[in-house]
Amino acid sequence: MSSEKKEKKIKINDPEGGMTRREFLALAGGVVVGLAIGLAGGSTLAPKVTETVTKTVTQTVTGTPSPSPTVTRIPPELVGFPLEKYPNWEYYYEPEPVPQPLRYMGGAWMMYPEVEEFWEKVHKQEVECTYVDLFIMAQRFVATGGYGWDVGGTARFRPIKQAGILQPIPVAELPRWDNNRITRILWEPEKVTKFRPAQIPRFKYLLWWGDTDKEVEENIGKNLALVPNNWNFDSVTYLPEFLPYEEQGGKAFSISYSELWNEEWKGRTMMQDEALTVFAETANELDATGQIKIESPFTSLSREEVDKVYNFLLPIVKAGQIKTFWFKYGDAVNLLVSKEIWIGSTWQPICYDTRRAGVPAYYARLVNGPFYWFNGDILSKYTPIREHALKFINFRIDVWWDAFITRNGYGTATNEYEDVKEYMGEEAFGWFNEGKATYLPIDQIIKEICFPDRPELWDLPDRLLQALFIPDKYFPPGQPPREGKPHPRGNLRDLGSIPDKIAITRYFLSPDYPDDPDYYIEKYEELKASMPV
């Protein structure tokens, strides 16, 4: 498919007008490359098969935890395409072109050219993409009435589900989904997290099908409302060049969220430009430290609780402590790279892209925990291509995607499966998921792998070298895994292993949305209006 045709397929919905996809991912003046971090193809590749076959191939949905391949040889039209990168590709293969396109609408961070390329080549179905910004996603989906798209990659999901524009996604029709093996925070949040009882029904409502708590409970393990294909624990990025702290994986806490309000960093801090995020993060910190008492779920505070958070933040904002509330990904990266900002609430890819520019940055293991979020794919009630859409959704929890999305530091519902570990290799899987150190020491990594052309970085103290580790450079796509064992001076992933992070997490945020969003927005706009001119 020509690049011209590709460009015509892509639509961008943005409050400031149309942009290209690259601009959407990173407005960075040449600094940001746009979430360009991670294992694009996995570390371990299956042997390449070159034998061709011309007979027609059929597939069946088996309902087993993994797709059951029905193709054992490569069809002639796929010779030369790197199928060895895609375990279970046979399940997605279509012998004849699919006449109707698959229309994807949602976050750009959930869709990549590599996904489109695979689907159009192997499934023989054109992919049309409409990208929607995170902070206005709920309104945009609801406004469609469920028409004009087949699969939605969504966050801020509550009002979308409530709008009646979706259909359930049966677990039995997702061969990759196994209730016994999915990450435990999705299956039993009440057992493995510090979530309060008031948060649990909201969490389950956003994952499983049903309008009432009773209906949701009846559908657990049977029908999904949303299939999580990206999740993480969000925290604070800080520059150790200016803040005297460091990360040690899951071994110790470094700072608390209150560090954003430390007067030493006045005018050097930033928060996210969304009422839900600002009020939820602050409410968690104030409740954990005993400064105010929160009874409601952190994602849906009462008006009285919103007022308490607002009253706490107002003098801080008025005093100029917060330099900015960032909205665009590239702006957040540039503020850190230029060192105008030293600490801020961010997504983890922002921390990684700051490092990519040669600026040491850490993602903090916060004293009162990060917040968990999960986003994923939903199915339109009115899609005319349900079977194809379900296969597409399944592909985005299959082995290749599980490894690919680690570029952002993200997991999926299925990223702890054994076949994912085999695909990524012991070292990469251990670093991403299990809190294990790299096999090489950090000074060697920075000098020989991450920054071989930046000698001015080689002799920095270990505290800064560790904050320059770039996962996709150390775990390059398509390379065989290293032999060895964790090195005492190897890099540890910030925040620690998946169990480490789950154990310290007090609340979740996306894909939830407040029950009274208008009041949130009203108070948030008042808060921003108080910033010094």
pLDDT tens per residue, range 431-476: 999 999 999 999 999 999 999 999 999 999 999 999 999 998 999 8
- Least Cα distance to 352 among 500, 473, 269, 265 occurs for 473
pLDDT tier for residue 67 given thresholds of 50, 70 and 90: low
Q: Residues 169, 393: contact at Cβ < 8 Å?
A: yes
* pTM assigned to the model: 0.85
Mean pLDDT, range 340-368, rounded to an integer:
98
Name which of 106-110, 211-215, 225-229, 337-341 the model is least confident about.
106-110
pLDDT tier for residue 170 given thresholds of 50, 70 and 90: very high
Q: Which residues pair with 104 in a beta bridge?
A: 129, 151
Backbone angles phi and psi of 59, in degrees to 5: -130, 155
pLDDT value for 11: 45
pLDDT value for 66: 52
What single letter denotes the amino acid at residue 255?
I
pLDDT value for 443: 98
Asked if residue 369 has pLDDT above 50, the reply is yes
Pairing verdict, β 169-170 and 223-224: antiparallel
The top-scoring range by mean pLDDT among 6-20, 300-314, 471-485 is 300-314
Residues sharing a CB contact under 8 Å with residue 465, sequence separation 6 or more, in sequence order: 360, 442, 443, 445, 446, 457
Asked if residue 157 has pLDDT above 50, the reply is yes
The alpha carbon torsion through 136, 138, 140, 143 (nearest 10 deg) reads: -140
Asked if residue 243 has pLDDT above 50, the reply is yes
Asked if residue 60 has pLDDT above 50, the reply is no
pLDDT tier for residue 263 given thresholds of 50, 70 and 90: very high
pLDDT value for 48: 33
Between 32 and 279, name the one with better pLDDT: 279
pLDDT value for 70: 53
Backbone angles phi and psi of 102, in degrees to 5: -95, 120
pLDDT value for 533: 85
Give me the chain's average pLDDT, please: 88
Domain layout of the chain by residue ranges: 3-231+373-426
Asked if residue 56 has pLDDT above 80, the reply is no
CATH class of 3-231+373-426: alpha beta
Residue 16 burial by Cβ neighbours in a 10 Å radius (0-12, 13-18, 19+): exposed
E-only strand ranges, 58-207: 102-106, 127-132, 151-154, 169-170
Backbone angles phi and psi of 96, in degrees to 5: -125, 150
**Termini Cα distance of the chain:** 50
pLDDT value for 479: 80
> Among all chains, which residue has been given the structure tokens 């010779």?
79
Whole-number Å distance between alpha carbons of 419 and 354: 32
Q: Residues 48, 34: contact at Cβ < 8 Å?
A: no
Whole-number Å distance between alpha carbons of 154 and 138: 8
Side-chain half-sphere exposure of 440, counting CA atoms within 13 A: 17
pLDDT value for 29: 33
CA-angle at 91, arms to 86 and 93, nearest 5°: 85
pLDDT value for 361: 99
Does residue 75 have a cis peptide bond before it, meaning omega lies within 30 degrees of 0?
no
pLDDT value for 134: 80
pLDDT value for 135: 78
Name which of 50-59, 177-186, 225-234, 261-270 the model is least confident about.
50-59
* Alpha helical stretches, state H, 165-302: 184-187, 189-192, 200-207, 213-219, 275-288
pLDDT in tens, 6-41: 433 444 343 333 333 333 333 333 333 333 333 434
pLDDT value for 248: 96
Rg (the chain; Cα; Å): 23
